[in-house]
Structure 1
Amino acid sequence: MNFITLTLLPILALAGCSTVQNQAPPVWAKGAKPQEILTSGAGEGPAWHPKLGLLFSGDGNVQRWAPKEDKLDVFREKAGTNGLLFDYSGRLLACEPKQRRVTRLEKDGSITFLSTHYQGSRYNTPNDITVDEDGRIYFSDPRYGNRSNIEMLDDQGTPIEGVYLIRQDGTVVRVITHEVDRPNGVLVSSNQKYLYVADNNNDTVGGAHKLWRFKRKSDGTLNLRSQQLIFDWKTSRGPDGMVQDASGRIYVAAGLNTDNLPFETKLPYEGGVFVFTQNGILLDHLPIPNDEVTNCAFGGEELKTLFITAGGHLWSMKTSIAGDLPWPKGRSSKTE
């Protein structure tokens, strides 16, 4: 397959950027350029498996791209998934928005339904997923598009687009109710202290396009008073999926290359991957020409390849620091 390369463009006027970059390793591998791997079929939720290759959601299936053979095939047909993630034991967690549930693919091929309802109501459309080192799972539950059949309502009848925690015993608690506008990507920080939440309302005038950070309590719930704004994309497309490297830097899929009026604009932040320190200092922006830039994940040899899904296209970019994943090569001895 022929690869397409892009030239990395510099970011202008990043306050404090040079100081931070002088103190830390560069984001990208020396001389690296983005490479386009696939032009269709890669919608969302990339997740790396050292033997299988890269899994992702696309065309209604869980797709698999095998890098050695440069081959695309179907891993799980008609799965209807979005966010995917391997937990610390190497089992595949999945948000299934069409079925309005969260599942786990076991190593024997069976599927466990982790959560299908909350307090008797069906979820909106589970979107993205993350896990802590104790095995507790967080997932976001926004509703994009048709809102006619929303069952998640508060006492006043207002729709709830929340974030939920699945405990090790299978019980579920809502940890975010109305604190964010429309939650999308979620990520437990490397040090386990924080939960990052992407707030991306892309079909409402004045909707949020922000990245938030919350302190986690020992039981996995959140200190809602600790809510901190990490970055605001203003009128551009807000954050979607995200991942982190071994140094704690956060890589966020966001931005837009074409105006989506009246809801979103191309400027000030064009589509790509935005790289931040844990405290929200913008270090770099990797431009990706395809809308929509939906997600990213580390994989490849030594976990030093960032895979990016964008409008069905699959891109890759070599990094200088390895990714920090629950599995493989996770932060915990619980990995295999």
Structure 2
Amino acid sequence: MQNMKPNFLSFLIIVLGFISCNSQKELIKEGQKPQLISNEFEFTEGPAADTEGNVYFTDQPNNRIHKWSVEDGSVSVFMEDAGRANGLYFDVEKDLLAAADENSEIWKITHQRDVKVLIDDFEGKRLNGPNDLWVAPNGGIYFTDPYYQRDYWERTEKEIAEERVYYVNQQGELSIVVDDLVQPNGIIGTPNGEILYIADIGDNKTYSYKINPDGRLTDKKLFTELGSDGMTIDNMGNVYLTGNGVTIFDKSGKKIQHIRIDKDWTANVTFGGKKQQTLFITAQEAIYSLQMNVKGVRW
């Protein structure tokens, strides 16, 4: 019997390894490929799903926010004059937040399309151009503020030299949480509010941080040597980065899958649909959907 123990342990290791590899291969439902929803836009960005599974996304050059309906799959205009919104995310009150970089602001948009400007400067200086954002379970907001010169701006230079990541607490107070990246862009956190991932697209790296109770970020670690435009996370803790299609990493930072998109640039990604089991991918003038075995998560 003693001789059987090593054999049994070896067998168990092999089985567990097979299960792990097999589960990674089955992130996407069998036989499924990205399906084009529409390619009638100029540049799609910022997809975000509400609690019903409807997906909102931006067409920044045309200054619109569109809505994909979970009921019939139709796409309609949700909002015109959308502040040149880029990244979107729903807050704990179920209102839509937008990184509106026409005037470098963070907007709160109600279901009635009423707009409240939450943030419009830092210590009296205009922000560079809020790009992407994530809402923590406690309602705090993290957003990236890189500088991309826009043709619709009158200004031609920064008022704030650093391209930072900021945090807005529950009282609406704004503070710097990261100021040592080249050009922060994509951002996503874990649903338990413990870990935040930030992509430094300017240095082609993505980092993880520990989120402290007061909103500060500590314990910076290199997650992977790949930057990203937009990001999302699934219920297995896998992190999805964009740029050249969608590249998926497990929670340890190991690359486990790549989703090819037939476009030069893939900007952003999120989960939506009735069961949060459809991946929505924005890429240049198009938006795609892909049926998954994993699900999106929110607090």
Question: Tell me, what secondary structure is at the counterpart of 2:157?
Answer: coil
Structure 2 match to 1:264: none
Question: Tell me, what secondary structure is at the counterpart of 2:275?
Answer: helix
Question: Tell me, what secondary structure is at the counterpart of 2:102?
Answer: coil
Identity score, percent: 32
Question: Is 1:128 matched up with 2:132?
Answer: yes
Structure 1 match to 2:237: 248
CA deviation after TM superposition for structure 1 residue 118, in Å:
0.5
Distance 1:19 1:162, change over 3 A: farther
Question: Is 1:150 matched up with 2:176?
Answer: no
Question: Is 1:89 matched up with 2:93?
Answer: yes
TM-score (normalised: structure 2): 0.86
Question: Is 1:221 matched up with 2:216?
Answer: yes
Instruction: Write out per-residue CA displacement over residues 70-106 of structure 1, whole angstroms, 9 at most, x where no aligned residue.
Output: 4332211021100001112211011001120001113
Counterpart contact for 2:53–2:273, Cα < 8 Å: no
Distance 1:190 1:52, change over 3 A: closer
Question: Is 1:294 matched up with 2:267?
Answer: yes
Unaligned runs of 5+ in 1: 1-16, 153-158, 202-207, 255-270, 326-330, 332-336
Counterpart contact for 1:302–1:322, Cα < 8 Å: yes
Structure 1 match to 2:196: 195
Alignment of 1:1-336 (within 5 A): 20-22=20-22, 26-41=26-41, 43-49=44-50, 53-58=54-59, 59-66=62-69, 68-79=71-82, 80-145=84-149, 148-152=156-160, 159-177=161-179, 179-201=180-202, 208-223=203-218, 226-233=219-226, 238-254=227-243, 271-325=244-298, 331=299
Counterpart contact for 2:37–2:288, Cα < 8 Å: yes
Which portions of structure 1, spanning 4 or more consecutive aligned residues, are displaced by more than 6 angstroms? Answer: none
> Quick one: which amino acid aligns to residue 33 of structure 1?
K
CA deviation after TM superposition for structure 1 residue 107, in Å:
4.0
Instruction: Write out per-residue CA displacement over residues 131-174 of structure 1, whole angstroms, 9 at most, x where no aligned residue.
Output: 1100000000000236832111xxxxxx1100000000011001
Question: Tell me, what secondary structure is at the counterpart of 1:150?
Answer: coil
Question: Which segment drifts farther, 104-113 or 292-301?
Answer: 104-113
CA deviation after TM superposition for structure 1 residue 278, in Å:
1.6
Question: Tell me, what secondary structure is at the counterpart of 1:21?
Answer: helix
* Greater C-alpha radius of gyration: 2
> Quick one: which amino acid aligns to residue 54 of structure 2?
G
Q: Distance in 1 between matches of 2:113 and 2:241?
A: 31
Q: Distance in 2 between matches of 1:196 and 1:217?
A: 14
CA deviation after TM superposition for structure 1 residue 67, in Å:
5.2
CA deviation after TM superposition for structure 1 residue 69, in Å:
4.1
Unaligned runs of 5+ in 2: 1-16
Structure 1 match to 2:12: none
Q: Distance in 2 between matches of 1:87 and 1:319?
A: 25
> Quick one: which amino acid aligns to residue 104 of structure 1?
K
Q: Distance in 1 between matches of 2:245 and 2:71?
A: 26
Q: Distance in 1 between matches of 2:68 and 2:165?
A: 30
Q: Distance in 2 between matches of 1:182 and 1:18?
A: 39
Q: Distance in 2 between matches of 1:190 and 1:284?
A: 22
Q: Distance in 1 between matches of 2:178 and 2:107?
A: 20
Q: Distance in 1 between matches of 2:187 and 2:149?
A: 20
TM-score (normalised: structure 1): 0.77
Counterpart contact for 2:143–2:167, Cα < 8 Å: yes
Question: Which segment drifts farther, 275-284 or 40-49?
Answer: 40-49
Counterpart contact for 1:25–1:320, Cα < 8 Å: no
CA deviation after TM superposition for structure 1 residue 126, in Å:
0.3
Counterpart contact for 1:50–1:300, Cα < 8 Å: no
RMSD: 2.0
